[in-house]
């Protein structure tokens, strides 16, 4: 009987073993579950607007309303500089990118808490869940980027001072940097919230503060010298500035600054994945 059981065990398609090494990320296993990732991507996008009246139209309405509010409040009332760019384009350019980053961060920060019921019933690489959130937000980014390009061509047709530069070709790199930063910070917060629920209340507040510390509502040139170090150490600043430089022709850009954002992203992502994999072993006991 024992020989029959041993022989049957040798025919298993999948053997689940505990991870003992902190650097055992098992990224190959995540790739094996790419079909599950695609199912989660579809679920996230459909469920987000399933019980709304306007549905996916909110993807278009939201950036337009945000840009209009920013134009009225910060452009007309506060009279903040936009470096000669049309205020609507200036604010929308950063809003599109920032929305992707903030959605990735806030979405992945709830991974363990919102999916505890699923994690406790079936096995799959837990990293699949935050990765699917980052990918599903790419759909939103694509739609809002198309909207931005529509406004950009309109303002260009009416002789606004906007033009393309070679930095526009760096757009895929900017998406990768935003995705990595959002995923890295999000899974760090998600791992910590399994024990410290207070972080749930601080995430939204912290993201809002981070937006004001990023040149979303103002150009870097308008920051006083004594406070410009905040923009320098902020890894999102070079990404926003490069996007504006590529599609609007205004912005302070260099490969060195983008390299800083890339290095920052890799460090945060590696730290996040390591912490995430360590916490997933015991999180079901604390959530």
For 224, list phi and psi in degrees, rounded to 5. -60, 150
| DSSP, res 46 | H
Structure tokens at 259: 């390299």
**177 in Cβ contact with 239 (< 8 Å):** yes
| Amino acid 221: pLDDT | 83
Unique residue bearing structure tokens 């791992």: 191
Unique residue bearing structure tokens 């939201």: 62
Structure tokens at 151: 């406004």
pTM reported for the whole predicted model: 0.85
| Amino acid 1: pLDDT | 45
| Amino acid 147: pLDDT | 92
Burial string for 12-25 (b: 16+ CB within 10 Å, else e) reads eeeeeeeeeeeeeb
- How crowded is residue 133: how many other Cβ atoms within 10 Å of its Cβ? 25
| Amino acid 124: pLDDT | 72
- Residue from 245, 202, 282, 209 nearest 85 by CA: 245
Sign of CA dihedral 242, 243, 245, 250: negative
Q: Among the residues of 10-55, which ranges form H helices? A: 27-32, 34-48
Phi-psi domain of 18 (left: phi exceeds 0; alpha: psi -120 through 50; beta: other): beta
**188 in Cβ contact with 129 (< 8 Å):** no
For 161, list phi and psi in degrees, rounded to 5. -80, 65
* pLDDT block averages, 10 residues each, the chain of length 287: 50 58 64 83 76 71 87 84 86 90 88 71 78 90 92 85 90 94 89 75 85 88 84 91 91 88 94 81 55
Q: How far apart are CA 120 and CA 124, in angstroms?
A: 10
């Amino acid at each position: 009987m024992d020989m029959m059981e041993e022989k049957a065990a040798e025919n298993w398609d999948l053997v689940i073993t505990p991870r003992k090494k902190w650097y055992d990320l098992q990224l190959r296993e995540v790739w094996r579950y790419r079909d599950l990732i695609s199912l989660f991507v579809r679920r996230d996008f459909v469920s987000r607007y399933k019980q709304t009246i306007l549905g996916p139209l909110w993807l278009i309405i939201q950036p337009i309303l945000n840009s209009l509010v920013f134009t009225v409040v910060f452009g007309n009332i506060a009279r903040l500089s936009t470096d000669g760019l049309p205020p609507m384009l200036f604010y929308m350019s950063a809003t599109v990118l920032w929305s992707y980053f903030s959605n990735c961060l806030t979405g992945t920060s709830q991974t363990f808490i919102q999916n505890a019921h699923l994690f406790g019933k079936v096995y799959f690489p837990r990293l699949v869940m935050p990765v699917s959130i980052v990918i599903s937000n790419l759909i939103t980014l694509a739609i809002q980027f198309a909207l931005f390009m529509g406004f950009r061509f309109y303002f260009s047709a009416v002789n606004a001072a906007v033009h393309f530069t070679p930095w526009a070709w760096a757009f895929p790199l900017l998406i990768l940097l935003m995705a990595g930063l959002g995923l890295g910070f999000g899974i760090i917060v998600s791992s910590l919230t399994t024990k410290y629920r207070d972080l749930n209340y601080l995430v939204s507040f912290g993201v809002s503060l981070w937006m004001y510390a990023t040149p979303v509502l103002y150009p870097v040139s308008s920051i006083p010298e004594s406070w410009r170090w905040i923009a320098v150490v902020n890894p999102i600043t070079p990404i926003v500035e490069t996007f504006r430089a590529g599609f609007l022709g205004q912005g302070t850009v260099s490969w060195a600054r983008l390299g800083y954002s890339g290095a920052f992203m890799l460090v945060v992502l590696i730290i996040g994945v390591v912490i995430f994999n360590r916490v997933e072993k015991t999180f079901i006991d604390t959530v």
